[in-house]
Structure 1
């Protein structure tokens, strides 16, 4: 579904990510691990057209994204949950969710997707009319994920969904990711919590200084001495 070849991206003369080769199959969950400043967020923003692409290729379901504007990419079937959630704080939960369906306003399934999101995150239904800025961090993360799902994505880009959340909420969010993947949505998961990322992903890539330095199945990464030392506390 997603195939990235020899991708370079960044601002000015600096390549924030360089020579990235990565793929995600239909319905597959793939993790991207790495320390802060490794280039993980830049990778997702580049796929979404939010960071300038310099050269290479990003094929999504056969379409080349490299020359497309960010505003046109969600309609192809790519949802992006940004790092830090970025909900709209002064409007309600329901209005935040409906904004996620902006590219599919004429889709008759919008209301049924809304019900699916409420089933996935029952607390959002309880806070239907509450201003998003008054929610807890975990609830805002649920809004951000739900907002992306309202666009009916085939591929969901998730950037640090567990960052800053209490452990019990982290478990809830990762359980939701597994349920989303079970519906056939492919997931590209950026996560500093390597242990949890490797639990929900089939394969993974490790980024360092903007380049992929290790790749393999999640079980292979979990046993890799460098990964264990750097990310798993072993």
Structure 2
């Protein structure tokens, strides 16, 4: 197992199961287990809401109780927004997924528990976990939808696994090229009488140079700006 298992405990609505599966697959997670779903299994409403992630539902493990779903797991996180009278490590999704990566690399099977929509996990269920995942939500409205909670966790797993989103290489202009662009504009604007009055000219030129330096100009941008100015001068001449 090279990724964590997502375990939905006593989920109530098929739509939420399907939405959770969709959120999982969005970020590459495919290990799904379902414990005692209220409306039975399989659930056509879950399939409809999964929208392309139906294969997760087809492969999902169905369990009558939580101990059965956790029998082969080495480490378990329980997601909850409510304070618990349990002495357990409390971590953010970011911290939890960092630990999960290390545990999986060591050959361990990791599970993440998500409770039913109306009440969340019960204390007896949280007690079976090694640690608690809590999201820093608005304390006046802490309740997260099942799929939202699954998405937050899955996103953090993907972010840490794949690293930052690749940024396309950009051919930025060099300092010298920006300097030449500044010289060009300064010369034309000076001849046009833009730097007026003379007492403010130095500060105006400094601000213009600062603007060129601040902009993330590419070489193509610089060439276009030179060309625009040349065309304006040509048309005026």
Higher strand fraction (1 or 2): 1
Higher helix fraction (1 or 2): 2
Q: TM-score, normalised by structure 1?
A: 0.30
Q: TM-score, normalised by structure 2?
A: 0.29
Which structure: larger Rg? 2
